[in-house]
Chain A
Amino acid sequence: GAVVSQHPSRVICKSGTSVKIECRSLDFQATTMFWYRQFPKQSLMLMATSNEGSKATYEQGVEKDKFLINHASLTLSTLTVTSAHPEDSSFYICSANRLTEAFFGQGTRLTVV
Chain B
Amino acid sequence: SQQGEEDPQALSIQEGENATMNCSYKTSINNLQWYRQNSGRGLVHLILIRSNEREKHSGRLRVTLDTSKKSSSLLITASRAADTASYFCATDNAGNMLTFGGGTRLMVKP
Docked Cα-Cα span, A59 to B1, in Å, equals 7
Question: Would B42 and A102 count as touching, CB distance under 8 A?
Answer: no
Interface size class of A (residues with CB under 8 A): 20 to 34
Q: Which B residues are CB-close (under 8 A) to A34? A: 97-98
Q: Using CB atoms, name the residue of chain B closest to A91.
A: B40
Contacts of B28-65 to chain A: CB distance below 8 A: 30-31, 33, 35, 40-45, 48
Q: How far is the CA of A113 from the CA of B73 in the complex (A)?
A: 40
Q: Does A69 belong to the interface (CB within 8 Å)?
A: no
State how many angstroms separate the Cβ of B42 from the closest Cβ of chain A.
4
Interface size in chain B (residues, C-beta < 8 A)? 25
B70 CB, min distance to chain A CBs, angstroms: 18
Q: Are the C-beta atoms of A102 and B105 separated by less than 8 Å? A: no
A103 with B45: in contact, given A34-B98, A43-B103, A95-B98 (CB under 8 Å)? yes
**Is A106 an interface residue when CB atoms closer than 8 A count as contact?**
yes
Q: Does B100 contact A (CB under 8 A)?
A: yes
Chain B residues with Cβ below 8 Å from A102 are: 33, 45, 90, 92, 96, 98
16 contacts between A and B (CB under 8 A): A32-B96, A42-B103, A44-B43, A44-B100, A45-B100, A93-B42, A93-B43, A95-B43, A100-B48, A102-B98, A104-B35, A104-B42, A104-B44, A104-B45, A105-B42, A107-B42
Q: Which B residues have a C-beta under 8 Å from some C-beta of A? A: 1-2, 30-31, 33, 35, 40-45, 48, 88, 90, 92, 96-103, 105
The residues of A with any CB-CB pair to B shorter than 8 Å are 6, 32, 34, 36, 41-46, 49, 59-60, 91, 93, 95, 97, 100-107, 109
